Amino acid sequence: MALGRRSFLGYVMAGSTLVVAADLALAKPARAAVPSGAQIPELYDLEDLQTDAAAPTANLITVTLHEDGTASFAIPRMEVGQGITTSTAMILAEELDLPVEKIVVTLAPSRPELVMNQLTGGSNTTVSTYTPIRVAAAIAKGALLDAAAAQLGAEVARLESHQGVVTAPDGSSVTYGELATKAASATDRRVEVQLKERADFSVIGTPRNRTDALAAVTGKKKFSMDLHVPGALPTMVCRPPTLNGSPKKLRNKAEILRMPGVRNVAKVDTGIAVRAETFGQCIDAIRAMDVAWNPGTVEGESDQTVLARLRKAEVPLAVPDVDPLAKTVEESFTFMFRSSAALEPNSAVADVRKDRATIWAGLKVPILAQQNIAKALGMSQDQVTVNVITGGGSFGHKLFSDAAIEAAKISQKMGKPVRLMWHRADEPRQGRLHPMVTSRIRATHLGGQVLSFEQRNTSVVTDFSHGLGEMITSTIDEAPTEVGRQLGGFGFSQSIFALTQELPYNFGLVTQLLDETDDRFNTGSMRNIYSPDTAVANELVIDRLARQMGKDPLAFRLEFLKDERTKAVLQKVADEGRWGRKMPAGMAQGIAIHKEYKGCTAVLVEIDTRPRTVNREIYHGVTGPRVTKAVVAVDAGLVINPRGLEAQMMGGFSDGMALTLTSSCHLRDGHFLEASWDNYFYTRQWNVPPEFEVHVMPSDSDQPGGAGEAGVAASAAAVACAYARATKKMPTRFPINHGTVSFKVKSFVPPVPPSPTNGLKHTY
Amino acid sequence: MPKQTFVLNGKSITVNVHDDVRVLWVLRDLLGVTGPKYGCGINVCKACTSHINGKAFNPCSVRVGDLTKDDEVTTIEGLPDTVGKELHPMQQAWIDRDVPQCGYCQPGQIMAATALVKKVRREGRSIRESDLDEIRNICRCGTYTRIREAIKQGARNM
């Protein structure tokens, strides 16, 4: 017996034009029973948890139809480049039968009533909003058709809607714009709808360019620092010479206040703030400041001392209960600190008055920002308005509201509106980092089978105070009992680790655990959080297991992988990338997979580690081994916008390659050395693979998967595996070039470099 | 305060500001021209790339006092006017290839790309992969491959 189509409940809301809202109370997907021996993410992963956390308040997500024929929707998520405004417009267009161009998706300001439903992270936006947005759109279309039926004198069932026009069998028609007020309701009304069948989709699944591309390429796209808020003058902070130091006193305040353009100076907990007519004059003032500082949190410490502390905290690996004849493979890897800074630095506009405050910033968790700002200002939450501005990248950085809180404090102290921006040098030196971590693995095998695989990560503490941690505490009851039992007693980090890490191979007894120590650093969840490190460690060991067992890396993986989707992406990159083709000495292929975000990714790369490539010269650039080719295959379930998904894979690859080869921060004498993009070596054009391709797998799934982070881990791992095969030596510390500090370290006092004056000598 | 005069996006403008202030801040903070972005302030990230007299330059590293009244500064906002169209072919290529992700670096990328194409033409040749390898503009979203494709397309239509 075929199951009937599922109905969803929602509301037509009272309004002057048509306003609708979705109710998700009945829309929670049924989850499968618990098979034994499965890893947590197979039963219930971070996506499920975030979706459950969002569900109870999703009924407050509304879509409004306007008299000009457009529909608007303020998404309670943040656009940082991942393309959700475009994909959300497509989802609405599909269900509404309205052109994508007629849909305006904006970013909702902080809405405390949404509770857990306003956090952008974990590549979860489409996973958790796909159904409620469709339900709202379907209700809107139903109300429009009802109004059209009355107007055109025809039965609803006989009406056709297309591109924002409803047509009756007699050819008469009416536009959505004309219906917007007629379809409006005087009271809230509960209705039941069914959603479009997948076979009828004409927008979802078709490649589409970004709706904000024109604004981006003409310079019209507005970021926080492009906003004009009256009186909000440029503001910067003179920061301490060591990590998390604090200011005692500005000794030459009068002199600073006399400098050209300088208006205000104020001491805050993070340093000495200066407000001036231009940011250039803020920089000049910072360089002239004579400040007495208190020590920081890691005075005198270095990479080595932090690593020694991690080693001390490492818990011994278990002695596996396997046949004593089994062979053991053991490895230990180290992953250094890395910066999640975006190109747009930390920034925020704040206008704090006696009885109220208004903030504009790129914020992925605006409700928490609002609470924290209110607390910092000694105000109640309703006195603080937080506007969410589209961000110039995030990569985890904008989960925290560091700049927004700092701007609010400075504005309060100065009694003036401020436009606060961090200097680039501040970002790697005082900003959020991906923590240093060690990953140890012990695997056993016998008779062609892997009997056990234990992975134990020991990490500097990851700060989860941005809301995801709290989401777990309040939502874990929703998880299957078995998951709740396993997570019981875990802290935030261990829970997130357990909810995201899945080693999808039949390796007998598989355990993956995280231990943490050392909370003295400013950390955060960088794009793909724990997975790039764990994947690099796992896939390198898997290559070693394959070699010991006399098997080809691809064949080995295909033999042991558990699920067909992951095997299919792996086979796809192997076919497209011609796995196993002969390469000259010093060049090799590498192959790796990753399963997360309701999907899976495989990456094949070719790398050139020959001296003439490694030693190629780029002015002030890190060259090193060159990835000459990358082939990515992704199964992200139901894909809304394949072109956007490809873009996320391309970006994810750039991130993953940088994590393995080039990008890290060096701690020495209590501070991080990096202060510029020519110090912190994120992927640049001279590192980009000349050949790059993405294959989006067809899927009959009704479940959209995550995209933003899905490409990072397998990319990092494939590059590591290729490097190990090309050099015939497995690297154990990442990035591989961390041992070389290939730049002249900029001054710590003053904490920002001088602005150059020779720009006219470098024109081209 | 000294009066600074130069040509900005085809129009002569005068602004009261000290000689020492870098052009980026004159554009962004005093004139409200926000297409050129800040990413480093030391001529490394190239997010502020604009043109001076038709050549690429980084306004974060030039004192406004070093501009003359005849110097023509073009920012992304003025790029279409240089070809008398709604969009410069390089901007169109960026849209066709769906290059931007967050978009923050893209004004600088496009200004760098157009200057690079003109530079290699002055040298009597077309763009090579090695030219693309040397572009220093950072895209932290990592959409470098699409940038390379768009530059080749834009160059064909310039």
Complex ipTM value: 0.98
Chain-chain contact of A278 with B105 (C-beta, under 8 angstroms):
no
Share of chain B above pLDDT 70, in %: 100
Q: What is the pLDDT of residue A32?
A: 43
The residue among A369, A399, A421 that closes a domain is: A421
Q: What is the pLDDT of residue A26?
A: 39
Structural domain contains residue A663: yes
Q: Hey, where are the domains in chain B?
A: 3-77, 81-156
Q: Which residues of chain A have pLDDT under 50?
A: 1-3, 24-27, 29-36
Closest by Cα among B17, B38, B4 to A392:
B38
How many residues make up chain A in this entry? Answer: 764
DSSP A111: -
Angle subtended by helix axes A712-727 and A531-548, to nearest 10: 40
For A208, the closest chain B residue by CA position comes to B98
Strands (E), A76-132: 103-107
What is the amino acid identity at position B123? Answer: E
The residue among A421, A449, A483 that closes a domain is: A421
Q: What is the pLDDT of residue A491?
A: 80
Q: How far is A211 from chain B (nearest CA, A)?
A: 10
**What CA–CA distance (Å, rounded) separates A739 from A46?**
35
Whether A350 and A466 map to the same domain: the answer is no
Contact with chain B for residue A691, Cβ under 8 A: no
Strands A437-446 and A384-388: unpaired
Contacts of B62 in chain A (CB under 8 A): 757, 759-760
Whether A328 and A280 map to the same domain: the answer is no
Structural domain contains residue A253: yes
Contact with chain B for residue A81, Cβ under 8 A: yes
Q: Give the Å distances, CA to CA, from A70 to A104, A171, A177, A213, A611.
A: 7, 23, 7, 19, 59
Asked whether the beta carbons of A310 and A512 are under 8 A apart, the reply is no
Q: Give the Å distances, CA to CA, from A201 to A95, A193, A195, A208, A439.
A: 9, 17, 11, 14, 45
Task: For residues B57-70, give the mean pLDDT.
Answer: 98
Strands A233-238 and A599-608: unpaired
**What CA–CA distance (Å, rounded) separates B105 from B143?**
11
CA atoms within 13 A on the CB side of B8: 22
Query: Which sign, positive or negative, has the C-alpha torsion A120, A124, A125, A129?
Result: negative
Whether A358 and A322 map to the same domain: the answer is no
Q: Give the Å distances, CA to CA, from A427 to A68, A431, A673.
A: 44, 4, 11
Structural domain contains residue A538: yes
Whether A322 and A389 map to the same domain: the answer is no
- Within 10 A of B69 (CB to CB), how many other CB atoms are there? 12
Whether A489 and A604 map to the same domain: the answer is yes
For B116, the closest chain A residue by CA position comes to A764
Structural domain contains residue A746: no
Q: What is the CA radius of gyration of chain B?
A: 15
pTM score of the predicted model: 0.95
pLDDT higher than 90, residue B76: yes
The SS3 of residue A574 is helix
Contact with chain B for residue A278, Cβ under 8 A: yes
Strands (E), A296-421: 327-335, 338-339, 347-352, 357-361, 384-388, 418-421
Whether A310 and A290 map to the same domain: the answer is no
E strand or H helix that includes residue A268: strand A262-268
- B24's CB contacts (< 8 A; 6+ apart) are A280, B36, B38, B41, B48, B58, B59, B60
Query: Which sign, positive or negative, has the C-alpha torsion A495, A501, A506, A508?
Result: negative
> Would you call the peptide bond into B59 cis, given omega within 30 degrees of 0 as the criterion?
no
Whether A256 and A404 map to the same domain: the answer is yes
Whether A357 and A235 map to the same domain: the answer is yes
Total domains present in chain A: 3
- Within 10 A of A512 (CB to CB), how many other CB atoms are there? 23
**What CA–CA distance (Å, rounded) separates A472 from A463?**
14
Q: What is the pLDDT of residue A60?
A: 73
Task: Return mean pLDDT, chain A.
Answer: 92
Whether A134 and A274 map to the same domain: the answer is no
Say which CATH class B3-77 falls into: alpha beta
Task: For residues B42-61, give the mean pLDDT.
Answer: 98
Structural domain contains residue A32: yes
Structural domain contains residue A756: no
Contact with chain B for residue A651, Cβ under 8 A: yes
For B51, the closest chain A residue by CA position comes to A763
Whether A579 and A709 map to the same domain: the answer is yes
Whether A519 and A495 map to the same domain: the answer is yes
Task: For residues B21-38, give the mean pLDDT.
Answer: 98
Say which CATH class B81-156 falls into: mainly alpha
Structural domain contains residue A217: no
N- to C-terminal Cα separation, chain A: 71
**What CA–CA distance (Å, rounded) separates A442 from A145?**
63
pLDDT band at B124 (very low <50, low <70, confident <90, very high): very high
Asked whether the beta carbons of A284 and A649 are under 8 A apart, the reply is no
Q: Which domain holds residue A437?
A: 304-338+433-734
Structural domain contains residue A106: yes
Q: How far is A215 from chain B (nearest CA, A)?
A: 9
The residue among A152, A180, A210 that closes a domain is: A210
Strands (E), A185-232: 189-194
Whether A97 and A47 map to the same domain: the answer is yes
Residue A455 sits in a domain of what CATH number? 3.30.365.10
Contacts of B41 in chain A (CB under 8 A): 279, 283, 423-424, 752-753, 755
